[in-house]
C-alpha cells in the first residue's frame, strides 16, 4: 500500500504548480473585473490547511491501508484488469458514488464533520478554498471506499481515480463562472458547488457530489443556485479565527466537551455517532452551541497593519518551500515530525497576528518558533548549504517584519487593532 500512497501524492503534487498558477490568474481576473474574491487572511488560512494536509501524509501512514489489504485478500482475485479501459471508467464512477456518501455523512454525522469542517470555514469562495483540506480525513474516510476493494478493483486504480476526483474538484471553487446550462444536470460545477459551500437556509446540506451531480439528483440532495438568493459562505457556527490548529480540531474539541459535561454513558456514546450539532441535554444546558442566525452574519475580518500582511505572505511562501523541501528531500522519520511541527507552528503563530491576538500571545508563539528554526538552520547535517543560506536570509527578513508588526501593534495599542 505504501507505494500507492506515494503514487497518489505524486499526482496531486504534480498538479500543485498549476493550482498556484490558476489562483494567481483568478486574482488578476478578479481585479480586472472589479470583483476580487480574495482576502489575504482567509487565503492564508486555506492554503496553510492545504499545506498541512499534504505534509500529514508523510507522518502517518494510511490507517485504511491495513483494512484495504485484508479486504483485498478476501476478494477472489483482482477481477478488473488495469490495462482495460472499462476498469478505469467503472472505478472512476464507483469512486464518485463512494465519495458522495462519505461527503454526505461527512456533513450529517458529527464525527465525520469534525474532519470535513476544515473545508468549509472559509467565508470567501475562490480557488484557494479548494486547497483547504482536512488533516484527519484518513482516520475514517477509508471506510467508504471498502466496496471498491471488495469488488476487486486494483488498489493503484482506486488511488489514481481518487486523485483525479480531487483534482477535478479544484476548478469548481470559483465565483467567476456562472451556471453552465446542460452541464449542471450531470456534473459538479462552480454554480452547484457554490450552493454546497453556502450557509443560506435554502442551500444547507446540498450538492455532495465530487465529479457527478447525478447522485444528488438521485438521492434527493440537489439544489440549484437561485438568482434571488446570493450565496453567503462559511459556517453557521463560525470559529472567528485563521488558526489552522483550531480549524482542524474545533469540532472534535466540542465533542470531547459534550462527553465531559455529560454523566449518562448512553449520551456520551451517542455523541460519537450523532447527527451534526446534536448535544446531550446536560451539555446543552451547561454549554449550548446554537447556530447563528444568518441575518446576523458578518464577515470575520480583523484589521491589521501592512507589516502583518506582508509577514503572512512571506510565512506562507516559506511554508510552501518547506513543504516542497520535505517532499523532494527524504528525511528521517523524526525529521518529518519536526518538519510537520514547524509547518503547523508557522501557521498557528502567523494566524495569531492575523487574528489580532494580544501582542504577548503572538510573541509567545513566534519567538520559540524562530529559535527552533535557527537551531535547524544552524545544523549543517540537517540541511544543505544553499538551503541553509536561504533559511537564514528568510529568518532575518521575518525578524524585521515581526519587529515592524510589533511596533505598529504596540503603537496602535493591542485592543485598538481589533475591529
Ligand atoms: Zn462539504
Ligand atoms: Zn468544496
For 19, 146, 182, 307, 320, the CA distances from 313, given in Å and listed in that order, are 17, 41, 40, 10, 11
- 290-329 tens-digit pLDDT: 788 888 899 999 999 999 999 999 999 999 999 998 888 8
Closest C-alpha to 369, from 311, 326, 301, 309: 311
Window from 2-16, 61-75, 128-142, 341-355 with minimum mean pLDDT: 2-16
Window from 3-7, 181-185, 314-318, 357-361 with minimum mean pLDDT: 3-7
| End-to-end CA separation in angstroms for the chain | 50
Structure confidence at residue 172 as a pLDDT band (50, 70, 90): very high
Residues 178, 190: Cα–Cα separation, whole Å: 7
Q: Which ligand is nearest to the CA of 130?
A: 2
Residue whose C-alpha cell reads 459562505 in the numeric block: 233
Q: What percent of the chain has pLDDT over 70?
A: 91
With beta carbons less than 8 A apart as the criterion, state whether 336 and 326 touch: yes
Structure confidence at residue 334 as a pLDDT band (50, 70, 90): confident
Task: Count the neighbouring beta carbons within 10 Å of the beta carbon of residue 117.
Answer: 23
To 5 degrees, how large is the angle CA 96–CA 100–CA 102? 110
* 78 located within any domain: yes
Instruction: Please give the distance, rounded to the nearest whole angstrom, from the Cα atom of residue 322 to the centre of ligand 1.
Output: 28
Tell me: do 64 and 204 sit in the same domain. Answer: yes
Tell me: do 65 and 201 sit in the same domain. Answer: yes
Instruction: Please give the distance, rounded to the nearest whole angstrom, from the Cα atom of residue 173 to the centre of ligand 1.
Output: 12
Domain count of the fold of the chain: 2
Instruction: Please give the distance, rounded to the nearest whole angstrom, from the Cα atom of residue 152 to the centre of ligand 2.
Output: 30
In this prediction, residue 78 carries a pLDDT of: 65
> Residue 197: is its pLDDT beyond 90?
yes
Tell me: do 23 and 118 sit in the same domain. Answer: yes
Helix, strand, coil % (nearest 5) of the chain?
Answer: 65, 0, 30
SS3 220: coil
> Residue 397: is its pLDDT beyond 50?
yes
* 276 located within any domain: no
Instruction: Please give the distance, rounded to the nearest whole angstrom, from the Cα atom of residue 15 to the centre of ligand 2.
Output: 17
- 276-295 tens-digit pLDDT: 999 999 999 999 987 888 88
Instruction: Please give the distance, rounded to the nearest whole angstrom, from the Cα atom of residue 197 to the centre of ligand 1.
Output: 7
- Average model confidence (pLDDT) for the chain? 89
* 234 located within any domain: no
Tell me: do 6 and 151 sit in the same domain. Answer: yes
Domain assignment of residue 55, given as a range? 2-219
Domain boundary among 159, 184, 219: 219
* 96 located within any domain: yes
* 63 located within any domain: yes
Domain boundary among 200, 219, 238: 219
Q: How far is CA 3 from the centre of its chain?
A: 24
Structure confidence at residue 63 as a pLDDT band (50, 70, 90): low
In this prediction, residue 193 carries a pLDDT of: 98
Out of 135-139, 224-228, 394-398, the most confident range is 224-228
> Residue 415: is its pLDDT beyond 60?
no
Instruction: Please give the distance, rounded to the nearest whole angstrom, from the Cα atom of residue 355 to the centre of ligand 1.
Output: 25
Window from 268-272, 284-288, 382-386 with minimum mean pLDDT: 382-386
Residues 159, 64: Cα–Cα separation, whole Å: 12
Structure confidence at residue 138 as a pLDDT band (50, 70, 90): confident
> Residue 417: is its pLDDT beyond 50?
no
Instruction: Please give the distance, rounded to the nearest whole angstrom, from the Cα atom of residue 165 to the centre of ligand 2.
Output: 12
Tell me: do 81 and 212 sit in the same domain. Answer: yes
* 18 located within any domain: yes
Tell me: do 142 and 39 sit in the same domain. Answer: yes
Tell me: do 201 and 337 sit in the same domain. Answer: no
With beta carbons less than 8 A apart as the criterion, state whether 319 and 346 touch: yes
- 206-236 tens-digit pLDDT: 999 999 999 999 999 999 999 999 999 999 9
In this prediction, residue 77 carries a pLDDT of: 58
Tell me: do 11 and 137 sit in the same domain. Answer: yes
Tell me: do 211 and 310 sit in the same domain. Answer: no
The continuous run of DSSP H or E covering 405 comes out as helix 385-412
Structure confidence at residue 65 as a pLDDT band (50, 70, 90): low
* 278 located within any domain: no
Instruction: Please give the distance, rounded to the nearest whole angstrom, from the Cα atom of residue 119 to the centre of ligand 2.
Output: 6
Tell me: do 91 and 192 sit in the same domain. Answer: yes
> Residue 6: is its pLDDT beyond 80?
no
Instruction: Please give the distance, rounded to the nearest whole angstrom, from the Cα atom of residue 327 to the centre of ligand 1.
Output: 27
359, three cell numbers: 501582542
In this prediction, residue 291 carries a pLDDT of: 82
* 300 located within any domain: no
Q: Which ligand is nearest to the CA of 122?
A: 2
Identify which has the larger pLDDT, 35 or 376: 35
Identify which has the larger pLDDT, 383 or 135: 135
Structure confidence at residue 378 as a pLDDT band (50, 70, 90): confident
Tell me: do 46 and 193 sit in the same domain. Answer: yes
Tell me: do 330 and 213 sit in the same domain. Answer: no
187, three cell numbers: 456534473
Instruction: Please give the distance, rounded to the nearest whole angstrom, from the Cα atom of residue 188 to the centre of ligand 2.
Output: 10
342, three cell numbers: 514547524
Identify which has the larger pLDDT, 356 or 138: 356
Query: Rounded mean pLDDT of 376-392?
Result: 75
Domain boundary among 219, 251, 280: 219
Amino acid at each position: 500500500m505504501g507505494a500507492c500512497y506515494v503514487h497518489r501524492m505524486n499526482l496531486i503534487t504534480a498538479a500543485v504548480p498549476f493550482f498556484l498558477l490558476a489562483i494567481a490568474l483568478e486574482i488578476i481576473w478578479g481585479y480586472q473585473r472589479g470583483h476580487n474574491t480574495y482576502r489575504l487572511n482567509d487565503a492564508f488560512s486555506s492554503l496553510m490547511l492545504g499545506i498541512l494536509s499534504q505534509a500529514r501524509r508523510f507522518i502517518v501512514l494510511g490507517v485504511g491501508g491495513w483494512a484495504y489489504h485484508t479486504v483485498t485478500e478476501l476478494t477472489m482475485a483482482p477481477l478488473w484488469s488495469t490495462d482495460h479501459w472499462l476498469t478505469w471508467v467503472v472505478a472512476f464512477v464507483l469512486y464518485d458514488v463512494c465519495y458522495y456518501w462519505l461527503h454526505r455523512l461527512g456533513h450529517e454525522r458529527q464525527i465525520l464533520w469534525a474532519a470535513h469542517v476544515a473545508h468549509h470555514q472559509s467565508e470567501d469562495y475562490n480557488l484557494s478554498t479548494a486547497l483547504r483540506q482536512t488533516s484527519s480525513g484518513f482516520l475514517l474516510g477509508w471506510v467508504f471506499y471498502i466496496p471498491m476493494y471488495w469488488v476487486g478493483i486494483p488498489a493503484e486504480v482506486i488511488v489514481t481515480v481518487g486523485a483525479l476526483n480531487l483534482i477535478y474538484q479544484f476548478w469548481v471553487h470559483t465565483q467567476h463562472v456562472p451556471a453552465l446550462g446542460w452541464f449542471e444536470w450531470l456534473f459538479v460545477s462552480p454554480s452547484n458547488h457554490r450552493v454546497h459551500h453556502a450557509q443560506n437556509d435554502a442551500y444547507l446540506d446540498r450538492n455532495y457530489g465530487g465529479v457527478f451531480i447525478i447522485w444528488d439528483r438521485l438521492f434527493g440532495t440537489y439544489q440549484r443556485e437561485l438568482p434571488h438568493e446570493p450565496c453567503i459562505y462559511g459556517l453557521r457556527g463560525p470559529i472567528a479565527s485563521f488558526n489552522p490548529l483550531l480549524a482542524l480540531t474545533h469540532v472534535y474539541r466540542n465533542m470531547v466537551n459534550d462527553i465531559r459535561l455529560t454523566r449518562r454513558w448512553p449520551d456520551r456514546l451517542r455523541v460519537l455517532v450523532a447527527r451534526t450539532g446534536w448535544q446531550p441535554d446536560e451539555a446543552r444546558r451547561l454549554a449550548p452551541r446554537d447556530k447563528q442566525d444568518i441575518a446576523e452574519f458578518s464577515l470575520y475580518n480583523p484589521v491589521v497593519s501592512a507589516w502583518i500582511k506582508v509577514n503572512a505572505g512571506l510565512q506562507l511562501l516559506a511554508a510552501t518551500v518547506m513543504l516542497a523541501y520535505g517532499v523532494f528531500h527524504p528525511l528521517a522519520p523524526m525529521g518529518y515530525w519536526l518538519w510537520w511541527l514547524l509547518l503547523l507552528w508557522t501557521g498557528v503563530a502567523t494566524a495569531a497576528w492575523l487574528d489580532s491576538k494580544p501582542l504577548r500571545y503572538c510573541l509567545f508563539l513566534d519567538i520559540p518558533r524562530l529559535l527552533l528554526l535557527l537551531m535547524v538552520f544552524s545544523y549543517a547535517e540537517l540541511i544543505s548549504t544553499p538551503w541553509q543560506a536561504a533559511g537564514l536570509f528568510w529568518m532575518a527578513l521575518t525578524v524585521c517584519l515581526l519587529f515592524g508588526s510589533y511596533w505598529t501593534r504596540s503603537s496602535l495599542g493591542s485592543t485598538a487593532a481589533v475591529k
